[in-house]
Amino acid sequence: MAAITTWRESGVRWIRFERPDKLNALTVDELREVADLLSGPAPEAVVFTGSGRAFSAGMHVDSFRDLDRDGARELIGAVRDFVGAARLAPCPTVAAVNGHCLGAAFELALACDVRIVAQHADFGLPEIRVGIPSVVDAALLQQHVGLGKAKEMILTGDRYPVSTLPALANDIVPAEDLDAATRRMLDRLTGHSRAAVAAQKRLFEIWQNAPLAESIAASVDEFAEVFTDPDTARAVRARRAAVGRGE
């Protein structure tokens, strides 16, 4: 079975991790494959999910064997590019978390715009137990759960049921409803102006990293720039027609 399965459906790219006997643990090559998948023309949205009992357990433990400093830098660079591809994609990204979500896969879920989570799923950053720090988009965790809880999760390496971390999820649903809940969210996320969505994703990144005055200035520039795209005029006309119909 392929370690990653991908398909397109109604303009949405689905990416499923497929190594269920190893909880969908990922290799460096697979991280690069996912990053490459997201480097081309943007779909309307991207959904990540897993097969079997796990979303993904993160990096395959064999990936850390015999690493030296240069090898470690190469590996973590691949993790950075993998999660960054989701965070920086010019379209909505969704993590449909169907089970265990650990390590680099948890960082991927944090990097996604939206998380739809099965009730039985759990999250964790077990790197400390492997003798390495949690890095890259683990930096986002404190924004969801608070600094104290984030430090606890990172320094213990424990797994936490989603029921104890409700702020992580946009929706928590029974496992059998995960696919339907994800599709309902996709209905809400897609169909908008591609130019506006791409501009908004760029602004999310700026807001995350820049001071307020710089963020506001960038917002003004992005607002003006979308009016150079014909998609904006079409979206405005469509909205005016909908308002005229009382919608």
Same domain, 158 and 216: no
Final residue of a structural domain among 189, 214, 231: 189
- Report the C-alpha dihedral over residues 83, 121, 60, 5, rounded to 10 degrees: -70
Q: Are residues 23 and 116 in the same domain?
A: yes
Neighbours of 124 (CB within 10 A): 22
pLDDT tens-digit profile of 168-201? 999 999 999 999 999 999 999 999 999 999 999 9
Task: Flag whether pLDDT at 32 surpasses 70.
Answer: yes
Residue 97 β-bridge partners: 117
Assess whether 154 and 240 both reside in one domain. no
Q: What is the pTM of this model?
A: 0.95
**Per-residue confidence at 204, pLDDT binned at 50, 70, 90?**
very high
Number of domains in the chain: 2
Same domain, 32 and 128: yes
- pLDDT for position 124: 98
Q: Are residues 57 and 100 in the same domain?
A: yes
- Supply the range of the domain harboring residue 167: 4-189
Whether residues 206 and 147 share a domain: the answer is: no
Same domain, residue pair 113 and 59: yes
Mean pLDDT to the nearest integer, 224-243 = 90
Q: What is the CATH number for 159?
A: 3.90.226.10
- Report how far residue 191's alpha carbon sits from residue 188's, in angstroms, rounded to the nearest whole number: 8
| Contact between 37 and 21 (Cβ < 8 Å) | no
- If asked whether residues 127 and 178 sit together in one domain, one would say yes
Whether 216 and 139 map to the same domain: the answer is no
Tokens at 210, concatenated: 């820049």
Q: Is the pLDDT of residue 1 over 70?
A: no
Position 2 scores a pLDDT of 63
Residues 59 and 101 in one domain: yes
pLDDT in tens, 117-162: 999 999 999 999 999 999 999 999 999 999 999 999 999 999 999 9
100 secondary structure, DSSP code: E
200 and 123 fall within a common domain? no
pLDDT digits over 34-87, tens only?
A: 999 999 899 999 999 999 999 999 999 899 989 999 999 999 999 999 999 999
Torsion of CA 57, 63, 68, 72, to 10 degrees: -50
Where does a domain end: 143, 174, 189? 189
pLDDT category at 203 given cuts 50, 70, 90 is very high
Distances (CA, A) of 191 to 111, 116, 212, 228: 22, 19, 30, 19
Tell me, what's the pLDDT at 154? Answer: 98
Residues 27 and 99 placed together within one structural domain of the fold:
yes
